[in-house]
Amino acid sequence: MNIATLPTVSAGNLRDAILAHLAYSFGKSPEAAQIEDWRMALSYAVRDRMVESWFSATRRCYEQKAKRVYYLSMEFLIGRLLEDGIVNLRLQDQAHAALAELGLDYHAVLADEPDAALGNGGLGRLAACFLESLSTLACPAIGYGIRYEHGLFRQSFRDGRQVESPETWLLQRHAWEFQRPEARYRIGFGGEVKTAGGNTTWTPSEHIDAEAFDTPIAGWKGRWTNTLRLWSAKAPDPFDLESFNRGDFARAAAPEALARTISRVLYPDDTTEQGKELRLKQEFFFTAAALRDILRRFDSEYDDLSLLPAKVAIQLNDTHPAVAGPELVRILHDERGLPFEEAMTIARGCLNYTNHTLLPEALETWHEGVFGKLLPRHLQIVDRIDDAHGRANPSRTLSMRANHQVRMGELSFVMANRVNGVSALHTGLMKDTVFAELHRLHPERIVNQTNGVTPRRWLLSCNPRLSRLVTDTIGDGWVGDLEKLRELEPHVDDAGWRERYAEAKRANKAALARWMADTQGLKVDPQAMFDVQIKRMHEYKRQHLNILEAIALWQEISETPDAGWTPRVKIFAGKAAPGYFFAKDIIRLINDVAKVLNADARTRDLLQVVFLPNYNVTLAERLIPAADLSEQISTAGKEASGTGNMKFALNGAPTIGTLDGANVEIREQVGAENFFLFGMDAPGVMARREVPDHARKAIDADPRLSRALAAVADGTFSPDEPGRYANVVANLSDHDYFLVASDFTDYWRAQREVDTAFADRDRWTRMAALNTARSGWFSSDRTIRGYMADIWGAESLQLD
């Protein structure tokens, strides 16, 4: 069958397919079926429709001897997949109708799917958007990662405090993966290295098997389907029979339990992973398995290893798979017998590295003791790489091996053909700061690829009301070519069209308000401005700046309630890493403030604060279409790019933000008049830090800020424990590395501009609509085209 001409599916076909799977795949009659059975049956019926293009994509790739892209990432934050599949195969109408015929509600069935939270945040979500765009562009690619049994923890609140519990997505049935028992590799750790007769061999002391699970990822219109291959850890000998026979059942099961710890849980930490041996094991586990798989595929087609860079492009998503460098060199040199220098050159020809952060504490380093114990041969190879690099660059002053550490950023850089940042500003700062010396030595290596988001998930499926309006106005070409949204611009001048745009937003807000009432017991006014900040909790993202502004606003509204305030609901969501106590304090503070403000009868019609628990992809899909205002308020120079900022702009929520990450490019695209800029820029931040007592000075200069901080300090929001936030207040007054105090005054000013703009609803709608019309550049299709051209040298395969 030709991939481009799949037969269309009718609602009747789909209904029959659902019923067939219900009976034959799950052994259920319609009478006995639970919602999960229906969801599984529908998923299988949709998945069936991907298989043909999946096979033909693989065939096409072998026929054309195409270069393949391998995206190695510790995290793929894929969320739910059923709607993605339905939307990309354009089966929405049929699925609605088929389920209706079966007496089922489409949304209820979709909502039964667990949200696969196999990532922490932006980095993992970016990987998921990239997979979808790679398929949309028919670029042959495989994503490699870990099949965590438990994704990012579930968050709830007790007395306003974050409580973590394990995430259990695999307890429900998962429809999308194919287990591949035949794709299994034995991965070694520890042991010893011996050199004899010029040959070096590594004999590991411990082994874990990596078993593949494949998920098909269909691109737009289902014309091409790539694979997400996740590795699950298994014991080589799952069962110790001798112990079992002795009656020691715990010991008998121990090997399997031990092995499985490697893929048991996603690390939720943002701080250095130093000393966390299990994390290093995870990194080597999936990277080594991926490389074995890549080489097996290569060997099946070619017998000349020098062709590797021409046929294989490997992208390292941050430094987590950085051990790919030494591992590939080890395989090529120790196992395949290539001279060391040649092995290094070939490996470097295949590898590329994306950096996602400049925060020094987030750049991975490993103590050589830990690294050498787990990967003794790799430590030697790192030293040789470092040596070779030093010799080739005699003016070098910094090594990847300082202070008994292995520095993964430097290692990745040296072993990469291309190194990229994720926004223009971030890439520039990489050149000037963390990688200044390496950039001087290799000026051609660093390139920029500004992030993007897939329009299929982040507009078409999450915002059907706005999508319908867009398609009614300019046709549906925008879904595969987001820059076409510019064609909306002339319509923005049409008052009738603006009214339709405003109506879509109103309806989205009303739906969110209903959902908050039904599920959270929260009553909010959908007429009020929905001011939204959703992202991981981190000092640099400055959720505390936002809540301090809320406090100051509340104080001012209390004094002059009739001053014509613009009603607002401030909505927060986000998880704090369990060991990040300051971030947890901020969560608690926001919840405490919410309690006081929402109970204040004088002000609550004008200002409410809401913290929604358990932020995940599904919640983002619900919140973003209903947002009026997007909070992107990080300290300039700290947010590498941001991708939430793009999703909000696309869905018609103008940004209040700093000149940080991709905010800079968003502002360029949507126009400065449709963006609320405030705060210091990156050079301003660096200069301000040099000012002695900058925080105290800023607090003393702004009575609103002093009063808000005083309320936090005197227990206004924690009457049962007035000192609860002493640490937060002290940090902000004495230290304030992220310059909350210094940016407060200008933030307040920008927020009042937002108030004024929002009060003129027609003006606001125009701004919102222009944000949508001018956000087409932020499609991950554009980003992936950039990687293909500038980094991978990969091509889209013909879809005839």
Quote the crossing angle between the two packed helices 761-773 and 495-520, to the nearest 10°.
90
Cα separation, 278 vs 295, whole angstroms: 26
Closest to ligand F58 by CB, 363 vs 799, is: 363
C-alpha 663/C-alpha 669 separation (Å) is 10
Comparing CB distances to ligand F58, the nearer of 121 and 567 is: 121
Share of the chain residues as helix, strand and coil, in percent rounded to the nearest 5:
55, 15, 30
Smallest distance, Å, CB 643 to ligand F58? 5
Structure tokens at 22: 């219900």
Q: Which of 726, 531, 761, 739 has its CA nearest to residue 636? A: 739
Q: Which is nearer to ligand F58, 270 or 592 (CB)?
A: 270
Cβ-based neighbour number of residue 729 at 10 Å? 16
The two beta strands, 154-158 and 161-165, are antiparallel
**Amino acid identity at 670:** V
Residue nearest to ligand F58 (CB): 122
Q: Positive or negative, the Cα torsion across 532, 584, 165, 721?
A: negative
* Spatial distance between the Cα atoms of 459 and 625, rounded to a whole number of angstroms: 8
Indicate the residue among 269 and 437 with the shorter CB distance to ligand F58.
Answer: 269
Mind giving me the DSSP string for 474-527?
H-GGGGT-GGGGGGGHHHHT-HHHHHHHHHHHHHHHHHHHHHHHHHH-----TT
Cβ(197)–Cβ(228) below 8 Å: no
Nearer to ligand F58, 377 or 457 (CB): 457
Catalytic residue among 125, 229, 456, 647: 647
Helix count and strand count (H, E) for the chain? 33, 23
Instruction: Provide, rounded to whole angstroms, the least separation between the CB of residue 708 and ligand F58.
Output: 27
The DSSP bridge pattern shows strands 192-196 and 199-203 to be: antiparallel
Please identify which of the residues 319, 635, 643, 655 carries the catalytic annotation.
643
Residue 407 CB, nearest distance to ligand F58 (Å)?
16
Name the minimum Å distance from CB 59 to ligand F58.
33
Select 232 or 634, whichever has its Cβ closest to ligand F58: 634
How far apart CA 641 and CA 356 sit, in angstroms, is 8
How far are the Cα atoms of 45, 119, 146 from residue 214, in angstroms, in the given order?
A: 17, 17, 11
Closer CB to ligand F58, 552 or 640, in the complex:
640
Nearer to ligand F58, 9 or 228 (CB): 228
Q: Are strands 199-203 and 312-317 parallel, antiparallel or unpaired?
A: unpaired
d(CA 231, CA 254): 20
Three-state secondary-structure class, residue 431: helix
Is 536 annotated as catalytic? Answer: yes
The span from the CA of 664 to the CA of 660, in Å, is 6
Measured in degrees and rounded to the nearest 5, phi and psi for residue 601 equal -60, -25
Which three-class secondary structure state does DSSP give residue 232? Answer: strand
> 3-state DSSP call for residue 647?
helix
Residues in contact with ligand F58 by the rule CB under 6 A: 120-123, 126, 267, 269-270, 356-357, 422, 451, 639-643, 661
Cβ at position 787, least distance to ligand F58 in Å: 13
**Largest Cα–Cα distance of the chain, in whole Å?**
88
Q: Which of 356, 439, 509, 782 is catalytic?
A: 356
Question: Which residue lies nearer to ligand F58 by CB, 18 or 127?
Answer: 127
Contact 700, 675 (CB under 8 A): no
Q: Can 356 be counted among the known catalytic residues?
A: yes
Q: How near is the Cβ of 78 to ligand F58 at its closest, in Å? A: 15
From 229, 281, 535, 544, active-site residue: 535
DSSP output for 344-390: HHHHHHHEEEE-----GGGS-EEEHHHHHHH-HHHHHHHHHHHHHHH
Residue closer to ligand F58, measured from CB, 298 or 778: 778
Among candidates 532, 524, 485, which has minimal Cα distance to 656? 532
Query: 334 near 293, Cβ under 8 Å?
Result: no
Coil, helix or strand at residue 244:
helix
The string of DSSP codes covering 442-474 is -TTTEEE----B-HIIIIIIT-HHHHHHHHHHH
Q: How far is the CB of 270 from ligand F58 (least distance, A)?
A: 4
Cβ 212 to ligand F58, closest distance in Å?
Answer: 23
| 329 or 537: CB nearest ligand F58 | 537
Closest approach, Cβ 271 to ligand F58, in A, equals 8
Altogether, the residues listed in the chain come to a count of: 800
Cβ at position 355, least distance to ligand F58 in Å: 9
In sequence order, the 6+-apart residues with CB closer than 8 A to the CB of 549 are: 708, 744, 747, 748, 751
**CB closer to ligand F58, 122 vs 222:** 122
Least distance from ligand F58 to the Cβ atom of residue 129, Å: 9
Classify residue 600 by its DSSP letter: -
Coil, helix or strand for 139?
coil
Q: Is residue 541 flagged as an active site residue?
A: yes
Task: Tell the smallest beta-carbon distance from residue 711 to ligand F58 (Å).
Answer: 31
CB atoms within 10 A of CB 101: 13
Shortest distance, position 788 Cβ to ligand F58, whole Å: 18
Tell me which residue of 460, 774, 454, 463 sits closest to 627, measured CA to CA: 463
Q: What is the distance, to the nearest Å, from the Cα of residue 170 to the centroid of all Cα atoms in its chain?
A: 20
Q: Is 643 a catalytic residue?
A: yes
Task: Check 15, 39, 541, 667 and give the catalytic one.
Answer: 541
Q: How many CB atoms lie within 10 A of CB 293?
A: 19
- Which of 536, 538, 544, 570 is catalytic? The answer is 536
Whether the CB-CB separation of 780 and 141 falls below 8 Å is answered with no
Query: What is the separation, in whole angstroms, between the first and last Cα of the chain?
Result: 12
User: Nearer Cβ to ligand F58, position 283 or 293?
Assistant: 283
Which of the residues are catalytic?
Answer: 356, 535-536, 541, 643, 647
